Structure 1
Amino acid sequence: MKKGNVYRVYPDKEQRTLLEQHFGAARFVYNHSLSLENLMYNRFRTNITEIDLNNHLVSLKETFPWLKDINSQSLQQANRNLLIGFKNFFNGNGSYPTTKKKKDNNFSFQVPQNYQINLTSSHIYLPKIGWMKIIIHRDFLSKEFIENNLVLKEVNGELILDQKLNREFKVLKTLTVSRTSAGRYHVSILIEDNEPYPEPVSFTEETTVGIDVGIKSFAVLSTGKVIDNPKFLKKSLKKLIKLQRSVSRKPKGSKNRRKAVAKLAKQHQLVANQRNDFQHQVSATIISENQAVAMEDLNVKGMIRNHCLAQSISDVGWSEFIRKLMYKAEWYGKTILRIGRFDASSKLCNVCGYNNKELTLDIREWKCPSCKTLHDRDRNASINIKKIALSNLNTHGTWERAYGLTDKSQGNEVGSLWF
């Protein structure tokens, strides 16, 4: 089972310069390789392999000597990331790779090998950069696992976990270094603990919950539980506007403008951290309390085009919340069921099945003309989402068959997906 843990690091002034050089070099190599791929395909209808791109790095370093100061494996990983992007695009799992731009906050590079972690003094070593202070607030591996399965070296009485010495065990995977817009540096350590993913546990109608995500309420469950929308962005909007005005008043290129930009980025970082922490808590609770979760397949990109709702939809963060639910369900052997985005969940009476085609978005409660049941719009939708998901399984396949669904073609056939 693969898991990634993110930790904050504190480089000194010289190391920050080196990190920025690595960010820029990885972005430069990615864009250069992308232009080569596009050129070769448009003119000769041929693709360049990863080996060819890596061999081209030799001549590229002669043209741009500053690339020699960068960890070579990080540059090779940039080429690999590009080809993975192409593979995902042709498999229908992503968009076509585009040029990375500095203004889009693309500050990251990867270190596949040869990093070290000082478990005694909490420092991390990166090739070409050196030792940096790291805050390990959460164990990426248990002490027992490290002692029993990995090789530690002792230097001046300090225990160091060297990725190079443990390469044969294939536990310490790729390390990713990144920087936020607020100037905070992080490393993400990918770990393979060689434990298989748990088998999906069986679920029934009683152990399945339907979720209807929204703006007024963050989520409404079919059990009747309502999770309020904290609206972190809206609460900080006045402060953000004030900070943005402060940036606009400062002359471009001045020190005061850089200070104002830093304050603005720090506030945006605070909002993002609040939203991320909230989503982690909610997703962990839902996954731990239920064996299966039913959700709608929302077209978030299309919904954001509505300028009246774009800010509120971005603030609530549906896509990231669903992503958290998916990988946590995979960790604990739970099941995610998805229904189509065009299924009538809100307009359908969950008691008699009457379809209220006149229901508009501003109506939050409605009374069924057929059975006279008074419905809360979101609660009714969550119950229907659960019913539709379970109905699709019973109609198109067995419960056991649902566990094996892994791709879109199967998902369309059955009407639900297991992740």
Structure 2
Amino acid sequence: MKKGNVYRIYPDKEQRTLLEQHFGAVRFVYNRSLFIKNLMYKKFGTSLTEVDLNNNMTNLKEHFQWLNDINSQSLQQANRNLLTGFKNFFEGNGSYPTRKNKKSNHFSFQVPQNYQINRTTSQIYLPKIGWMKIVIHRDFLSKEFIGNNLVTKEINGDIILDQKLNKEFKVLKTLTVSRTSAGRYHVSILIEDHELYPEPESFTEETTVGIDVGIKSFATLSTGEVIENPKFLKRSLKKLVKLQRNVSRKQKGSKNRKKAVARLAKHHQLIANQRNDFQHKVSAMIIRENQALAIEDLNVKGMIKNHCLAQSISDVGWSGFINKLTYKAEWFGKTILKIGRFDASSKLCNVCGYKFKELTLDIREWECPSCKTLHDRDKNASINIKKIALNNLNTAGTAERAYGLTERSQKNEVGSLPF
């Protein structure tokens, strides 16, 4: 199975400059290849392949000499990512590829091979950049696995794991270097340990739990357990407003403004880390305690268009939570059952089946006019989600296994924090 592990790296001043050059060069090649591909199809109806785009790299390097200072494999990977974007678009899994903007782009580039890790001194080597400190807070592979399946080399007493020496084993996959808005650098190492995913565990109605995610409560389970919403963003709004005000008061282009922007970005990074850590802990707890999970297929992109709820929905992070549940279910052989986004859950009485059409968002409790049962809105919804999912499974076999994750969904989520 494939797993990604994210570690923080500490480049020196010169290496930071090289990393920024790589970020910019990869973005430049991506945008140029996108322009050329669109132009050739528009003018001549020709669809360029990855080989065509890579061959054009020679011409680009002749006109832009600074591209010769960049790792060529990282530049070729940019072309591969572009074609993957087109493939996802034509398969209906994404939007049409657009230009990457320096201001809004997630700064990253990939190193497919030829990187090294010094396990003795906790350093990592990247082509064209050199050795730098890395904090390996947890092993991406066990010592036994490395000793039995991989080749290491020893230099001056240091044990070094070289990706090039282990290419034939296909264990050490692509390495991704990224920078956050707060100026922190990370590497994500994709590992393929060639272990099979566990067989799905059998489940019954008793070992299945329905999950209703919300804003007031983070999640309500069909067992009656309520997980409160920590509201990390809302709790930090006053401080964010103060930091943003400090930024606006500083003169544009000044060093003090850059410092104020860095402080603001650092606090946004803290909020994101808090939310991510919380979701990892909750998803791990739910996965460990149940064999099957029933959830709704939510249209989060559509929901955040409501400006009254957009901030609260973004703060709770439903999409990230569902992604974590999905790939952890795959790791441990659990089952994900999804119901349609238009299936009635909150408005349906879980006792008699009466549909209360007048139910609005501000009503948290309601009494069924038919059977007189008093319902908590969220608990009732979670019970209905479980019932609908199991009914779909029994009648039409519409269970969605937590298998077949795309690289796109795994890229930022898998193993990004301790399980």
| TM-score normalised over the length of structure 2 | 0.95
Letter in 2 for 1:233: L
Distance 1:35 1:67 in 2: 18
- d(CA) in 2 for partners of 1:63 and 1:314? 44
Within a 5 Å distance, the mapping from 1:170-249 to structure 2 comes to 170-249=170-249
Give the structure 2 partner of residue 55 of structure 1: 55
CA RMSD in angstroms, aligned pairs only: 1.3
1:93 deviation in Å?
1.2
Structure 1 residue aligned with 2:417:
none
Q: Which segments of 5 or more consecutive residues in structure 2 lack a partner in the other structure?
A: 406-419
- Whether the aligned pair in 2 keeps the contact of 1:153 and 1:160 (CA below 8 Å) is yes
The CA deviation at 1:118 is 0.1
Give the deviation of 1:398 after TM superposition. Answer: 8.4
Alpha-carbon distance, 1:282 to partner: 0.6
Structure 1 SS opposite 2:187: strand
Tell me how far apart the structure 2 counterparts of residues 301 and 53 of structure 1 sit (CA, whole Å): 33
1:150-165 matches, within 5 Å, as 150-165=150-165
- 2:80 corresponds to: 80
Say which SS state the counterpart of residue 85 (structure 1) adopts: helix
SS in 2 for 1:177: strand
Determine whether 1:99 maps to 2:136: no
Q: For 1:56, give the aligned amino acid.
A: N
Distance 2:125 2:368 in 1: 65
Amino acid at match of 1:119: R
After TM superposition, give the deviation of residue 42 of structure 1 in Å: 1.8
- Length, aligned pairs only: 405
SS at match of 1:165: helix
CA deviation vs aligned residue, 1:315-372 (integer Å, no higher than 9, x gap): 0000111111111111111111111111110000000000000111100000001111
Kept in 1: contact 2:211–2:295 (CA 8 A): yes
Q: Deviations over 1:87-131 (max 9, x none)?
A: 111111111111111111421000000000000000000000000
- Alpha-carbon separation, structure 2, partners of 1:364 and 1:233: 23
Written as runs of structure 1 = structure 2, the 5 A alignment for 1:341-380 is 341-380=341-380
Distance across 2 between alignment mates of 1:254 and 1:237:
25
Q: Provide the C-alpha distance between the structure 2 equivalents of 1:406 and 1:60, rounded to a whole number of angstroms.
A: 37
Q: Which amino acid aligns with 2:112?
A: P
| C-alpha contact 1:27 1:106 (8 A) present in aligned 2 | no
Q: Indicate conservation of the 8 Å contact 2:346/2:381, yes or no.
A: yes
Match of 1:95, SS?
coil
Q: Identify the residue that residue 167 of structure 2 maps to in structure 1.
A: 167
Query: Any conservation in 2 of the 1:349–1:368 contact (CA below 8 Å)?
Result: yes
TM-score using structure 1 length: 0.95
CA drift at 1:404: 9.7
Supply the AA of the counterpart residue of 2:250: K
What is the rounded CA distance, in whole Å, between the counterparts of 1:286 and 1:115 in structure 2? 37
Deviation at 1:241, TM superposition (A): 0.3
* Percent of matched pairs sharing the same residue: 82
Q: Give the Cα–Cα distance (whole angstroms) in 2 for the partners of residues 215 and 42 of structure 1.
A: 46
1:89 paired residue number = 89
Post-superposition Cα deviations, 1:152-204, rounded to whole Å, max 9, x if no partner, equal 10000000000000000000000000000000000000000010111211111
1:321 aligns with 2:321: yes
Conserved 8 A contact 1:77-1:110 = yes
The whole-number CA distance in structure 1 between the counterparts of 2:174 and 2:238 is 40
Which amino acid is 1:345 matched to?
Answer: S
| Residue type at the aligned position of 2:5 | N
Higher relative contact order (CA 8 A, sep 6+): 2
Residues 208 and 292, structure 1, Cα contact 8 Å, conserved in 2: yes
Which residue of 2 is the match for residue 288 of structure 1? 288
1:142 lines up with 2:177 in the alignment: no
Equivalent pair of 2:329/2:402 in contact (CA under 8 Å):
no
Asked whether the 8 Å contact 1:105–1:181 carries over to 2, the reply is no
The equivalent residue for 1:112 is 112
Match of 2:334 in 1: 334
Shift of 1:46: 2.0
Cα deviation for residue 375 of structure 1 reads 0.2
Q: 1:218 to 1:152 in 2, by over 3 A?
A: same
Whether the 8 Å CA contact 1:293–1:335 is kept in 2: the answer is yes
SS at match of 2:164: coil
The alpha-carbon deviation at position 32 of structure 1 amounts to: 0.8
Alignment of 1:118-137 (within 5 A): 118-137=118-137
